[in-house]
Amino acid sequence: MALFLSAGIIVRCVLFLLIFFSIVSWAIILFKLFQIHRANSESERFMDFFWKSKRFDAIASQVDRFASSPLTVLFNEGYGELKKVVESNGASDNSAMSTDLGGIENVSRALRRATNSEITRLEKYLTFLATTGSTSPFIGLFGTVWGIMTAFEGIGKTGSASLAVVAPGIAEALIATAIGLVAAIPAVMAYNHFQHKIRVLINEMDSFSTEFLNIVQRNISGK
């Protein structure tokens, strides 16, 4: 704190910016940890429920129990599109699978739209983590360079290069690099972690879409 208070205005601005980046990054990290953990756990529960259930309408009546799972969004979109196709063909609920390949393509497009929407939702705010991880060290380095310039200017004015004169200015300068690394390292680690978790969820969504379409096609073909 003493180093911060004694630093010049430029270095202080750099430190304020880095502290802001760090605080926002940690808020995003905590939010994404909660969001992705719930998405994973509820997706597992939903898949267990999905395979134990025999009818789509029974599943649709219970999807609110798994609201945080991206798979429920895919199911709702796919089932909703399937119902539209059935209704447009004048079919009853009991013959809900007696649609044609055009209907299957509509369901497939609905699943793809839902997948893209969920990917966008899951990746929201990760860009800020990537920006923090890539730019904070350079912002801190800028503060350090500026602080060292100021320190050497002070040496020139005093005409003394003793340790007592040089050390405080160099310490003030280096704190900017330190804070930059403090902001960047957790952001980079969290970004890589979340990207891995999201890729797993994307694979699960792709697998679910394939299984959903296979079930519909098997019922259409009467198998």
Task: Give the CA distances from residue 49 to residues 96, 99, 154, 213, in Å, rounded to whole numbers and listed in that order.
Answer: 21, 25, 71, 18
| Domain total of the chain | 1
What confidence category does residue 11 fall into, taking pLDDT thresholds of 50, 70 and 90? confident
Q: Which domain holds residue 121?
A: 2-218
Could you tell me if residue 68 is inside a domain? Answer: yes
Count CA atoms within 13 Å of residue 133 on its CB side.
15
Whether the model pTM is above 0.75 = yes
Which residue do the tokens 């098997």 mark?
218
Could you tell me if residue 85 is inside a domain? Answer: yes
Q: In the numeric block, which tokens belong to residue 218?
A: 């098997």
Could you tell me if residue 12 is inside a domain? Answer: yes
Whether the Cβ atoms of residue 213 and residue 152 lie closer than 8 Å to each other: no
Could you tell me if residue 8 is inside a domain? Answer: yes
More confident residue, 147 or 21: 21
Residue 93 pLDDT greater than 60, yes or no:
no
Residue 72 to residue 75: CA distance in whole angstroms: 5
Could you tell me if residue 223 is inside a domain? Answer: no
The 10s digit of each residue's pLDDT in 22-73 is 999 999 999 999 999 999 999 999 999 998 887 888 888 888 889 899 999 9
